[in-house]
Chains A and B, each alone.
Chain A
Amino acid sequence: KQEVTQIPAALSVPEGENLVLNCSFTDSAIYNLQWFRQDPGKGLTSLLLIQSSQREQTSGRLNASLDKSSGRSTLYIAASQPGDSATYLCAVRQETSGSRLTFGEGTQLTVNP
């Protein structure tokens, strides 16, 4: 059974800092990994999707890496801004589970002005 863990559970940083969020998964037979952002009381916004054959993906100030063999992914946020404050969730899609995603419990990020 796939299990996804995110560390830290919460993180508070001053504006302008670069930061790294961590995600680990127990079963390396994944199809892809997706990072989401969730604002309080809202749905999920897809940030980055990394295929199992890829090592990293970039979008603006965000960079996500994937090490499938070790079961780890990181989300790097450069020059953080107060608007980045949200909960960040990673989710893996198994090779044999269709579109089913297994989520971690998220990292709650606060960027202080």
Chain B
Amino acid sequence: ETGVTQSPTHLIKTRGQQVTLRCSSQSGHNTVSWYQQALGQGPQFIFQYYREEENGRGNFPPRFSGLQFPNYSSELNVNALELDDSALYLCASSLSGGGGNTIYFGEGSWLTVV
């Protein structure tokens, strides 16, 4: 039990549609990151939010966007879905500014694009 919760757990979308995934971070954690994990691969960093501002982004196009709210919960939005967007999307939370803070992950949201 990491204290990081994600919703929905599974969803199926059609190519071209838009999707919103949600994450509730562990209590007190002010930094949230999102990762994409394709089947059989390691997670790839999408972006990170700290105090409601994006402060780091991986190699993902602008149709991947996010939000962080004052209570530190977060959303990942993906527009114009493509078949290759089918993956497990993981949310991670941590307390920024600390030395060796462990990063905690949620159970993920499985997205299938057909």
Contact = CB atoms under 8 A, between A and B. Distances in A.
B110 interface: yes
A42 interface: yes
A100 B42 contact: no
Query: Which of A34, A44, A89, A103 has the most chain B CB atoms inside 10 A of its CB?
Result: A44
A42 B31 contact: no
Q: Determine the main DSSP class of A at the interface with B.
A: strand
B92 A99 contact: yes
Nearest to A105: B42
A98 B56 contact: yes
B66 interface: no
Given A43-B106, A44-B43, A105-B42, A100 B56 contact: yes
A32 B2 CA distance: 20
A46 B102 contact: yes
A49 B100 contact: yes
B100 A36 contact: no
Contact of B96 (A31, A51, A99, A105): A99
Given A98-B56, A99-B96, A42 B108 contact: yes
B94 interface: yes
Interface of A: 4, 31-32, 34, 36, 41-46, 49, 51, 89, 91, 93, 97-106
Interface of B: 2, 4, 6, 31, 33, 35, 40-45, 48, 50, 55-56, 58, 90, 92, 94, 96, 99-108, 110
A-B pairs with lowest CB-CB distance, top 4? A103-B42, A44-B105, A43-B107, A105-B42
